[in-house]
Amino acid sequence: MSDAWNALATHADQLRSVSLASLIDDPNRCDRFVRQLGELHVDLTRHLATNETIDLLLSLAEERSVTAMRDAMFAGEPVNTTEHRPALHVALRNTSDRPILAEGHDVMPAVHAVLRKMRKFCNAIHDGTWTGASGRRIDTVVNIGIGGSDLGPVMATEALRPWWSSGIRARFVSNVDPSHLADTTSDLDPATTLFIIASKTFGTQETLANAHAARRWIVEALGDEAVSRHFVAVSTNAERVENFGIDPENMFEFWDWVGGRYSMWSAIGLSIAVAVGFDQFERMLEGAHEIDCHFRDAPPAENIPIVLGLLDCWYRDCWQCQSRAVLPYDQHLHRLPAYLQQLEMESNGKRTRLDGSPTTHGTAFVVWGEPGTNGQHSFHQMLHQGTTMVPCDFFIAAESCEPTEDGRYDMLVANCLAQAEALARGRDLAQIEGALRASGMDEADVAALAPHKVMPGNRPSTTMLYKRLDPATLGRLIALHEHRVFVQGVIWGIDSFDQWGVELGKHLANEILPSVAGTTSGSGDATTQHLTARVHALRNE
């Protein structure tokens, strides 16, 4: 371990006997543990950290060259080292005149050209210029993709439901389970439905299987000639797109320097733009660009993604935390935990460092969560009284997107603030015994019940507060987490932009598929062969 890591490990041991409640009661704590960027208020006061902690973490960032790696990413250097590619998702939402280079060439003219094409298409769908094969207006777009070609668009369209002003419904199919496509299209009219096939290579197995099933659905209702009016593609492979029956003019390009889980800002976000309108899609890009500028320019101590990423490493490696809970107190953000799960676990769920050696630290949390207040009646029991410390991220808007005068939104905000306070402060045995005695309970019952109600506290959390969830705010939140994950990866010395871990399962599935389909036998190991035989036996019963 390096000197910076050793200093942090020693410091963590010293903090284990310190009460988080005592830290929070410092009247000057907000001066060092709150970050503000426009309307985004990031409260870090409820972390098991002192001024010394932050200084030690910043020393670690300096030792690991976080700012130099950040600058390399913005400069278009191949920070995706195993694939020898830049990672330039920041170019997709670059609303300034600043050029962004990849291999010495400014990528911004190509980015702007695709954005103009997306705007033209969205306008044509909304004003009825684009019609289906029968001349009827499109009323539903169905995005077929998987992974980054699905999770980002689903999350964003759900988050921005109040901005669905175009009258166009957006739906999503990702799972190769036939039920997903069947359920999604069960109440749709083929004559008014348009499919967006989102696949970088136009060769993703699950996506293409669903795309061909959707094509059959359209052809059975409207004929082969209808395909060109009911399908568009987001891809880099014009030949495969054309072979499918989609006019290459209706293919929206993106580039190999856009990773799947960082692609919602690209043409992969076409379904978002159709649902909310292109102007609102641009506002989402603008919000993300604000965070990009902050991450690029702010000094490390004030840099929100840097500080958050460092705190993540602090808990993962010095406190041995295995997971982090994402708790959006906003029903529109109900897909945010799943989105951040992929962003973080696919990016940093790795055991090999850039130099090929095994990591010496833990990497990546298990990221999970549900919207509040639902989670309070589910897993919050474990957060408060379980044996594992789980850092939590709370998200809350000051204003609801659904105005109401019945007090429900105030109830939501109060619950969010209360959960964070309860996790931090807890409730000790003496407090509980006093409350039970005050209620009139006799001493025997107090002694029996009180230990079961103890909450140890000292459970850290971040609260992200903003005026309300709109497109720009959503852009800020997602870009903030992208850069947070990047900082984690730099600290751990891993490539956050590849995903080789998904390859083995795909390879084995292709080998086993003929055996499952019954065209061959004997694929897979003994257990797989046994299970395959049982599948066929059940089918034949």
pLDDT, tens only, 380-424: 999 999 999 999 999 999 999 988 889 999 999 999 999 999 999
Percent pLDDT > 70 in the chain is 100
Cα separation of 418 and 430, whole Å? 21
For residue 368, the cross-strand partners are: 325
pLDDT, tens only, 145-155: 999 999 999 99
What's the pLDDT at 403? 80
What's the pLDDT at 370? 97
pLDDT, tens only, 340-358: 999 999 999 999 999 999 9
Is 111 a residue whose pLDDT tops 90? yes
In a domain, 174, yes or no: yes
Q: Tell me, yes or no, whether 130 and 243 share the same domain.
A: yes
Mean pLDDT of 215-227: 97
The enclosing domain of 12 has a CATH number of 3.40.50.10490
The answer to whether 471 and 435 are in contact (CB under 8 A) is no
Mean pLDDT of 53-59: 97
What's the pLDDT at 115? 98
Q: Tell me, yes or no, whether 375 and 410 share the same domain.
A: yes
In a domain, 286, yes or no: no
**Domain endpoint, select from 281, 315, 333:** 281
What's the pLDDT at 506? 87
The answer to whether 393 and 321 are in contact (CB under 8 A) is no
Torsion sign across C-alpha atoms 136, 142, 145, 151: positive
Q: Tell me, yes or no, whether 395 and 477 share the same domain.
A: yes
Is 38 a residue whose pLDDT tops 80? yes
**DSSP designation for 18:** S
Q: Tell me, yes or no, whether 259 and 204 share the same domain.
A: yes
For residue 85, the cross-strand partners are: 80
Count the domains in the chain: 3
Q: Tell me, yes or no, whether 335 and 472 share the same domain.
A: yes
| Amino acid letter, 266 | S
How would DSSP label each residue in 458-502?
---EEEEEES---HHHHHHHHHHHHHHHHHHHHHHT--TT--GGG
In a domain, 435, yes or no: no
Tally the residues of the chain.
541
pLDDT, tens only, 297-309: 999 999 999 999 9
Mean pLDDT of 459-478: 98
Q: Tell me, yes or no, whether 114 and 198 share the same domain.
A: yes
Q: Tell me, yes or no, whether 469 and 517 share the same domain.
A: no
What's the pLDDT at 269? 98
Is 329 a residue whose pLDDT tops 80? yes
Q: Tell me, yes or no, whether 399 and 410 share the same domain.
A: yes
Residue partners of 143: CB distance under 8 A and separation at least 6? 149, 150, 153, 154, 170, 171, 172, 173, 195, 196, 198, 270, 271
The answer to whether 192 and 226 are in contact (CB under 8 A) is no
Which residue range is the domain that position 525 belongs to? 501-540
Q: Tell me, yes or no, whether 20 and 166 share the same domain.
A: no
Lowest mean pLDDT among 166-170, 284-288, 511-515: 166-170
pLDDT, tens only, 234-259: 999 999 999 999 999 999 999 999 99
Q: How far apart are the first and last CA of the chain?
A: 60
Q: Tell me, yes or no, whether 245 and 209 share the same domain.
A: yes
**Half-sphere exposure in the Cβ direction for 377 (13 Å, CA):** 3
What's the pLDDT at 323? 98
In a domain, 82, yes or no: no
Per-residue confidence band for 86, with pLDDT thresholds at 50, 70 and 90: very high
- The tokens describing 205, both together, are 């197995």
| Amino acid letter, 344 | E
The enclosing domain of 511 has a CATH number of 1.10.1390.10
Per-residue confidence band for 523, with pLDDT thresholds at 50, 70 and 90: confident
Mean per-residue pLDDT of the chain: 96
Active site residues: 346, 377, 506
Cα separation of 49 and 12, whole Å? 9
**DSSP designation for 233:** E
What's the pLDDT at 2? 87
Mean pLDDT of 72-82: 96
Q: Tell me, yes or no, whether 109 and 241 share the same domain.
A: yes
Is 166 a residue whose pLDDT tops 80? no
**Nearest CA-CA partner of 467 in 397, 386, 396:** 397
Is 230 a residue whose pLDDT tops 80? yes
**Phi and psi angles of residue 173, each rounded to the nearest 5 degrees, phi first:** -125, 125
**Domain endpoint, select from 238, 253, 281:** 281
The answer to whether 471 and 273 are in contact (CB under 8 A) is no
